[in-house]
Structure 1
Amino acid sequence: MPAVQSLADRLAERTARHDMRSRWFGAGRTVIAVAQLSFMLLTPVKALLVPVVGLGDYPHCNSVRAASAMCLGDTGVGPEAQRWLLIVILAVAASGYRPRWTAIPHAWATYSIAVSIAVPDGGESVAMIMCFFMIPIGLADDRTWHWQQPTRELAPSWRTLTFVAFLAVRVQIAYLYLDSAISKFGVADWANGTAEYYFLRDNMFGVGKPWDGLFLTLSKSAFVVVALTWGALIIEIAIGVCVLASDRWRKAGLAMDIVLHGSIILTMGLWSFALVMIGSAVVCATPEGRAPSGARGTARPATDDLQVQVRPPSPVH
C-alpha cells in the first residue's frame, strides 16, 4: 500500500541519519548519574539499609535481587565497601569517560540501588529503567568522552539499534508523565485544584526555608492554589506529548521539565528525583542526526552542531 510504503521510507530515512553520539545525550546521562551519586554520597549505609517493619533487614538478596552490588556480602565485602563501589561506578559514568565501557556498569549500579535500598523513591526506578534502555546507545558510542564530537560514521546496525532504544526511552518517559497526570484526576484534591495547598503544608515534604513564608502566604489565595495544582497537571501532559514529537518540541518539553522539577526542588526538595527526571528529559531532547567531524558520510547534522560558513566574494580585477 502506498501509505505503508511511504511510512517505511520515512522510517528508513530517519534510521539512516540517526546518531545519538551527542553532547545532549552525554549531558542527560551525566545528570542522571550525578543524581544517584549525590544520593549515595550523602546517605550513610545505615540509612540506606534500615530495617523496615514487616519486611525485615535489607538488602533482600533473593531471586534476581542477588545480582545487586549490595549482595556481595557472601564474598566478604561489607556494606560500606559496596556503597563506595557504587559511588566509583557512578562517578566514572558521570564524568563521561568511555560510554561504551561504562554503560553496563552504570545500569548495574542503578539496578543495585533500586532493588536493594530500604526506602527507594520513584527516582531510583526511573534511573534504573533509563540506564537499561540506554545500554544499546552507550555500546554504540565509541568516543573517549561523551562530551566529544564523534570522528567516525556509525555503522548501520548501530543506527537501527540505537534508534529503537531512543524510541523506547521517549515512549517510557511520555508514559510516566501522561500516566502521572491522568491518574491524578481520579484523586479529589487534584481534581478540585487544592492538592498543592496540602502538599506545601505536609510535615515531611512541605515547603522549607527560605521559601516557606512566600509560598504559604501565596497558597492562601484560591486562585494561586488552583493555578499551581492544575498547572502542574497541564505541564505534565505537555511534557508527555512533547517527548514524542520533533526535535524542537522535545526541547520545549525539556524547558517545561526543568521548570516543573526546578519548582519542586525549590519548594519540597527531592533533589535526586528531580535531577533524574531532568536528565531523562535531556536524553529525550537529543537531536537525532549529526555529522561526525573529520569523517565522511551522509549523516545529516543536528541543529545543535549546524554551522554555516560564508565565503567572502572574490575580488574583481
Structure 2
Amino acid sequence: MAADRLVRLPWSNVYGLARTLVALGTAGTLAFSSVDTLFRPVALAGDFPACEGATSASVFCLAKDDHTGLLWLKWLCVLLLLIVASGWRPRLTAVPHAYVNYSVFAGIAISDGGDQIGLVLSMLFILPALGDPRRWHWQAPPSDEGSRARRGWALIGSSGLLMLRLQMCVVYFTACVAKLPHQEWYDGTAMWYWSTNLSFGAPPWLAAVVRPVVSTPWGVALMTWLPLLIEITLAVAPLLPQRVRCAAMWAGLLFHFSIGLMMGLWSFALAMAGGILVLCLPSGATIARRRAHPTAEAPAEPVEPVEPVEPTTLRPPVRTAG
C-alpha cells in the first residue's frame, strides 16, 4: 500500500498579486505627495521625519533636514516599490519592501491606516517570499515539493500566510465591533455624517449621486449597515465555504474601492484589497509525494509467457437423414 504526504506550497500568484497591490498603495502615497506634504511639522507631534528612538531607523532620517535629499530618497523608494509590484525576485525584494513600508509609516507626517496595514502585510509577506524559488511571483508554483530545505521554506511560508489571514480576521472583527457602541451606526445614520463631512465626504463629482441616496431613510440605512455585514463576514471568512468566501471577497473589494472613491484613501483601499485576496482565495498548491510501502520495494516475480492458443471455429451440427 502507498502512503501520501501532503506539502502545501504557498508560492502562487494570489500572494503575488497581494504583494503588488500593497506595494502600489505605498508607491502612490509617495509619488503623488510632495516632499513638503510628506515631511512637515505637526502640532503636538513635532517635525517629520521624526528620528528619535525606533523611528530613527527610517531611511528618510538619512536626509532629515535636506529637502533635495528627501526628494531623492522618496523617488528611490518609489522605484523600489515598483520593482516589488512587478513581481521580480520576491526572495530579494521582500525585506526591502518591508523596510520601505516601515520608513513610510514611521517617517511621514500623514501616515494613516493604509500605511499601517501595508507595513503589517509586507512584514508577513517576508516569510513566504524568502523561500520563493520563482523569478517572478506571477509564475506557477513548482510542480514538485523539491528538497527538504524547500519543504521547510514552504512550511514557513504557509505559516506566514496563515498569520496574515488571522490578522485580517482580527482587523475586520475589530472594525465591525468597534462601531456598534455608537448610536449612529446601530440606528443606520452614520453614513449621512461621513458622506457630508468636509474632510472625508464625497467629492463634488460624486456628491450628486451620494447625497440623494443618504437623504432617504432606506438609502442611508443600507449604506451604513451593509459595510458592517461585509466586515463581519470577512472576519469569519476562513470558516465559510469557498463559494461564500468568493462572494465576500468581491463585496469587500467593492467596499474598499468605494472608500477610495469617496474618501480618497487609495493606499488603504489597495492594502486591504491585498489582504482580502489572501484571506479569501486559496493561496497555494498541494503537492502529494507518494512513498512506496516497504513490502512493495521487492521486484515482482517474472511471469512466464503463455503460449498462444489456436482459435477454434465452431461449426453447426450436421443433420443426417434417417
The TM-score, its normalising length taken from structure 2, stands at: 0.82
In the TM superposition, 1:1-317 aligns within 5 A as: 16-73=6-63, 78-151=69-142, 153-154=144-145, 155-243=150-238, 245=240, 247-290=242-285, 298=288
Structure 1 residues without counterparts, runs of 5 or longer? 1-11, 292-296, 301-317
Amino acid paired to 2:11 = R
User: Following the alignment from structure 2 to structure 1, what is the Cα–Cα distance between the partners of residues 130 and 215?
Assistant: 52
* Structure 1 residue 279 displacement after superposition: 1.3
Worse-superposed segment, 91-100 or 240-249: 240-249
Letter of the 2:255 counterpart: L
C-alpha distance in structure 2 between counterparts of 1:250 and 1:105, whole Å: 32
Decide whether the 8 Å contact of 1:239 with 1:256 is kept in 2: no
Q: CA deviation at 1:44?
A: 0.7
Give the Å deviation of 1:128. 0.2
Q: Which residue of 2 aligns with 1:294?
A: none
Once the two structures are TM-superposed, the CA of residue 252 in structure 1 deviates from its matched residue by 3.1
Native 8 Å contact 2:7 2:151 kept in 1 = no
What is the identity percentage for the equivalent residue pairs of Structure 1 and Structure 2?
Answer: 32
Structure 1 residue 17 displacement after superposition: 2.9
Aligned residue for 2:320?
none
- How many residue pairs get matched? 282
Does the CA contact (< 8 Å) of 1:18 and 1:288 recur in 2?
no
RMSD (Å), alpha carbons: 2.2
Q: Distance in 1 between matches of 2:273 and 2:159?
A: 21
Task: Flag the 1:209–1:259 CA change in 2: closer, same or farther, 3 A.
Answer: same
Counterparts of 1:134 and 1:189, CA distance in 2: 37
Residue 187 of structure 1 aligns with an amino acid whose one-letter code is H
CA contact (8 A) 1:253 1:281 kept: no
- Structure-2 separation of matches of 1:117 and 1:195: 30
Report the alpha carbon displacement of residue 267 of structure 1 after superposing the two structures with TM: 2.4
CA distance 1:213–1:113, change in 2 (3 Å) = same
Return closer, same or farther for 1:268/1:289 CA change in 2, 3 Å cut-off.
closer
1:8-51 CA distances to partner (integer Å, 9 max, x unpaired)? xxxx97xx331121111111110111111111111011100121
Residue 244 of structure 1 and its aligned partner are, at CA, apart by 5.4
Counterpart of 2:97, as a letter, is: H
Determine the C-alpha separation between the residues in 2 that align with 1:224 and 1:251: 26
Amino acid at match of 1:22: S
Bigger mean CA deviation after superposition, 70-79 or 27-36: 70-79
3-state secondary structure, aligned to 1:55: coil
Structure 2 contact 114–265 (Cα < 8 Å) conserved: no
- DSSP-derived class of the 2:205 partner: coil
Inter-partner Cα distance in structure 1 for 2:241 and 2:156: 19
In 2, distance between residues paired with 1:177 and 1:118?
26
Q: CA deviation at 1:269?
A: 2.3
Query: Is residue 243–residue 253 contact of structure 1 (8 Å, CA) maintained in 2?
Result: no
CA displacement, residues 162-186 of structure 1 (integer Å, 9 cap, x when unaligned): 1211111001011001101001001
Higher strand share: 2
Deviations 1:120-162 (A, max 9, x none): 1100000000010110111011111111113353422112211
Partner SS, residue 298 of structure 1: strand
Structure 1 Cα separation of the partners of residues 169 and 243 of structure 2: 16
> What is the TM-score when the length of structure 1 is the normalising length?
0.83
Answer 1 or 2: higher relative contact order, Cα 8 Å, separation at least 6: 2
Q: Could you report, residue by residue, the CA deviation over 1:219-247 in whole angstroms, capped at 9, with x for unpaired residues?
A: 11011111110111111101111145565
Post-superposition offset of 1:288 = 4.2
Cα distance in 2, alignment partners of residues 299 and 283 from structure 1: 25
Tell which structure's C-alpha radius of gyration is larger. 2
Counterpart Cα distance in 2 of 1:128 and 1:116: 13
Note if contact 2:237-2:279 (Cα within 8 Å) is conserved in structure 1: no
2:246 aligned counterpart, secondary structure:
helix
How far did residue 66 of structure 1 move? 1.6
Specify whether residues 127 and 173 from structure 1 end up closer, same or farther in structure 2 by C-alpha distance, changes over 3 A only. Answer: same
